[in-house]
Structure 1
């Protein structure tokens, strides 16, 4: 049973959509073949410079991975509105409190289940 009222659901959905829109605007550019462009291209330089370029590219790829993962989490939370399961804990099925969802609208576990998960 969902413990959120309609105005709270509207507020939380808007927050998720705003976050997703912000991430979509900052999405890393893609090349024509759909792959991500590396931010720093390698040029013939010293080994130390090449290592720095590789490190910068690795960091950029890792950040892009986090970016994509965050967008997936937000999309998953928005999809829960469609099936009516938004605001329900995926572990125990109880309602997730509004204050928790207000702080983290993408939360999928209640405080109790999240605490148990983190202690494992």
Structure 2
């Protein structure tokens, strides 16, 4: 798989599985964003604004966790189809050091740099 050795692949897969489990545990522990919602009560306009802000932050956090889970599942699926470690843009191998830092990385350093400049 794109120049990665079996022990490297095992390490990276383990890192992704731990990240997936951590997100799932957080979601289970916290519950849905609806469970986190602060109920609006007839109070001052400033208090109502605070309640709305807290509810928006809870929804945003839940959305971020869902997005993270999607990225991790995508990376794990690439193990199954044999494409893990290959840049999705140019097809070149993604370096092991980059994958250690970001095991969910989809792009090599060169393509990621180009994407960030756009």
Give structure 1 regions of 4+ aligned residues with deviation exceeding 3 angstroms.
none
| Aligned twin of 1:15 | 15
Normalising by structure 1, we get a TM-score of 0.92
Q: Distance in 2 between matches of 1:117 and 1:16?
A: 23
The gaps in structure 2 that reach 5 residues or longer are none
Normalising by structure 2, we get a TM-score of 0.93
Q: CA deviation at 1:43?
A: 1.2
Q: Distance in 2 between matches of 1:26 and 1:13?
A: 20
Q: Does 1:25 align with 2:63?
A: no
Say what the alpha-carbon RMSD is for the aligned residues. Answer: 1.2
Aligned residues: 116
Q: Which one of 45, 56, 59 corresponds to residue 57 of structure 2?
A: 59
Q: Matched residue of 2:35: which SS?
A: coil
